Amino acid sequence: MRFEDSVQDGVVILDVSGKIMGGEEATMFHGKIHEYISSNQKNIVVDLGKVDWMNSVGLGMLISALTTVKNAGGRLVLANIDKIESILTITRLISVFEHFDTRDDAIKAFK
């Protein structure tokens, strides 16, 4: 797993790619979320359009991120979930995460 972060229209974008399986990258992902929360940037889009695969540890990483952001009074949404939609549906997490078809739609949701 790799990720790049940026800010667009006041919304944090975490662009994730590769296979999400936990490990050091997941720790870095959480660290980045905490950095943004500490700087009072609490509107976050996790773009999963370039994710090839995700295991249960990856799901846990997303759930943990959602919980962290919500507890800080923020909002975390997912974008481009096509490749992992089936695992979100099977685990019934599809109803837990707010999700959008595109990154632009997700960003617009914060306005």
How does pLDDT run across 93-105, given as a tens digit for each residue?
Answer: 999 999 999 999 9
- Which residue in 1, 76, 2, 97 sits closest to 33, CA to CA? 76
- pLDDT for position 111: 87
Dihedral angle sign, alpha carbons of residues 42, 39, 49, 91: negative
pTM (two decimals): 0.94
Sketch the domain layout of the chain as residue ranges.
2-108
Match 């759930």 to its residue by tokens: 63
Q: Edge-to-edge strands of the sheet including 2-8?
A: 2-8, 11-20, 43-54, 75-79, 98-100
Q: Does domain 2-108 have CATH number 3.30.750.24?
A: yes
Confidence at residue 85, expressed as pLDDT on a 0 to 100 scale:
92
State the average pLDDT over residues 32-51. Answer: 97
